[in-house]
Amino acid sequence: MKRKDEIRKADGKLGVLIPGIGGAVSTTFLAGVETVRRGLALPIGSLTQMGTIRLGKRFEYRIPNIKDFVPLSGLDDLVFGGWDIFPANGYEAALQAEVLKQEHLEPVRSFLEGIKPWPAVFNQAYVKNLTGPNVKPESSHMDLVEAVRADIRGFKERNGASRCVMIWCASTEAYLQPAAVHGSLKDFEDGLKKSDPRIPPSMLYAYAALTSGIPYINGAPNLTVDLPAMVELAEKCRVPIAGKDFKTGQTLMKTILAPGLKARMLGLTGWYSTNILGNRDGLVLDDKDSFKTKEESKLSVLQTILQPDLYSQLYRDFYHKVVISYYPPRGDAKEGWDCIDIFGWLGYPMQIKVNFLCRDSILAAPLVLDLVLFADLAQRAEMSGIQEWLSFYFKSPQCAENLYPEHDLFIQSMKLKNTLRYLMGEEQITHLGLDYYYPM
Ligand SMILES: NC(=O)c1ccc[n+]([C@@H]2O[C@H](COP(=O)([O-])OP(=O)(O)OC[C@H]3O[C@@H](n4cnc5c(N)ncnc54)[C@H](O)[C@@H]3O)[C@@H](O)[C@H]2O)c1
């Protein structure tokens, strides 16, 4: 790992490669970046663009902006390309997604129209509720990998991009159990040669990215790089990987509330979460196999935060249920309800209700931006393999095999900022603070 002045500079263009570039998250991200670049709106929700970081002691009042503290690529240096099973250009796709209003899309129309999806690697067995015409004709896994690599090479040449990051914003794939073919790089590569059906499209994109020296970020709950074979490949190719599943609406709320309940030693008997969602993601998740992938990702959060094995009197056997219902009239404006049954002093029950009327892609777009910029920073700092410090952004953070993931948003935020301090040779902040009052 390189630190401070040894970190390679963010010179030149940074290519952002997006499987699922025609989706709601992608188009909201693309339109948003261009809108911000033109000074027409603020990048709200983005830590890299709006956040600060405290350095040193509180009386020093050294609190630079994160983007001035660490060498991140500037927004003007970002160039975009990607794949989708629908050929609609970025403007048409954004209109279809119905996230941003026409009045916000019009000023960036020509930029969006210039984004034309490349044919996708697609297998309907993994996304049952979608079919589209813009699909690569190649049929073997190795040919598909080579076709993706060729797309990347062509894009880099055309745009003069010195570096790239790939971020998966495509649909959630059907649930997949890790199998022997995912167990080691050798088995995986044998599986590729045999076009093993347990290797879904997301893994073909990821394999193409990693072997091209490009970091891979997983915005969906698909296993993709959260497998021994892919971790081995990332280490071998010296590239960062991170995932999985953007932490946006209901799970964001969960990882804000649950640590608070636990910090105050309040018990939990049940947490019922339900959502209605009417966008294309909702349609995909209406299939039980895709929903199973999402459900696994959403359910793990409370168990890890509340640690029932350590606090059996408070959290033993709490009932946790997550439901997502596809309800087209709402489009991307998801509504989530949480009914939380807690208990306090002497076991007296209480209830908390959360009704979050959110906008899924509005919450996800800034995460895409931050993850791209931080993954590129990690690459330039030669931090390869799993980037656990980016757990802050994920529902189901990828971590080393012998660890449990860290879900608590506040610990995740501290981990992220301490990593930045470490990279830049600044002291870690532990919040001890006794030295302000006692000689230490
Ligand atoms: N919006 C959020 O808050 C949020 C949060 C967490 C995770 N996610 C995940 O992010 C992803 C994108 O969400 P969205 O709302 O933009 O969904 P979306 O359905 O609008 O977009 C997904 C796009 O991927 C395309 N696609 C599907 N398979 C593909 C493939 N193999 N190659 C290339 N393109 C492919 C689809 O055609 C579609 O345009 C989903 O997996 C979703 O579960 C979203």
Instruction: Give the separation between CA 317 and CA 399, rounded to whole angstroms.
Output: 26
Same domain, 254 and 242: no
Which residue of 124, 281, 395 sits with most ligand 1 atoms within 8 Å of its CB, as the best mutation to test the pocket?
281
What is the pTM for the complete model shown? 0.96
Query: Residue holding tokens 């892919």?
Result: 230
Same domain, 324 and 375: no
Residue at 438 is within a domain: no
pLDDT tens digits along 212-271: 999 999 999 999 999 999 999 999 999 999 999 999 988 899 999 999 999 999 999 999
Nearest 10 degrees: Cα torsion 171, 177, 180, 185: 30
Same domain, 287 and 351: yes
The rounded Å distance from CA 428 to ligand 1 centre is 37
On the 0-12 / 13-18 / 19+ scale of CB atoms within 10 A, 354 is middle
Assign residue 336 the CATH number of its domain: 3.30.360.10
Same domain, 132 and 155: yes
Same domain, 217 and 256: no
Residue at 431 is within a domain: no
Residue at 376 is within a domain: yes
The rounded Å distance from CA 291 to ligand 1 centre is 13
Which residue of 17, 25, 250 sits with most ligand 1 atoms within 8 Å of its CB, as the best mutation to test the pocket?
25
Same domain, 303 and 189: no
Same domain, 182 and 274: no
The rounded Å distance from CA 55 to ligand 1 centre is 37
pLDDT on residue 26: 98
Give the contacts of 392 (CB within 8 A, at least 6 positions apart): 47, 247, 409, 412, 413, 415, 416
Residue at 394 is within a domain: yes
Residue at 435 is within a domain: no
* Residue 286 belongs to domain spanning: 250-357
Residue nearest to atom 17 of ligand 1 (CA): 281
Same domain, 16 and 136: yes
Residue nearest to atom 12 of ligand 1 (CA): 169
**Token representation of residue 227:** 């497998």
Same domain, 224 and 348: no
Residue at 432 is within a domain: no
Pocket of ligand 1 (CB under 6 A): 19-20, 22-25, 83-86, 97, 120-122, 127, 130, 132, 169-172, 201, 219-220, 245-246, 248-249, 279-281, 284, 360-361, 363-364
Residue at 436 is within a domain: no
pLDDT on residue 333: 84
Residue nearest to atom 6 of ligand 1 (CA): 246
Please give the full DSSP string across 183-215, using - where no structure is assigned. SSHHHHHHHHHTT-TTS-HHHHHHHHHHHTT--
Number of domains within the chain = 2
Instruction: Give the separation between CA 106 and CA 108, rounded to whole angstroms.
Output: 5
Residue at 305 is within a domain: yes
End position of a domain, from candidates 299, 327, 357: 357
Same domain, 27 and 161: yes
Instruction: Give the separation between CA 82 and CA 26, rounded to whole angstroms.
Output: 10
Assign residue 413 the CATH number of its domain: 3.40.50.720
User: What residue ranges of the chain have pLDDT lower than 50?
Assistant: none
Cβ atoms of 120 and 82 closer than 8 Å: no
Same domain, 229 and 256: no
Residue nearest to atom 21 of ligand 1 (CA): 23
End position of a domain, from candidates 340, 357, 374: 357
The rounded Å distance from CA 128 to ligand 1 centre is 13
Same domain, 218 and 275: no
End position of a domain, from candidates 357, 380, 413: 357
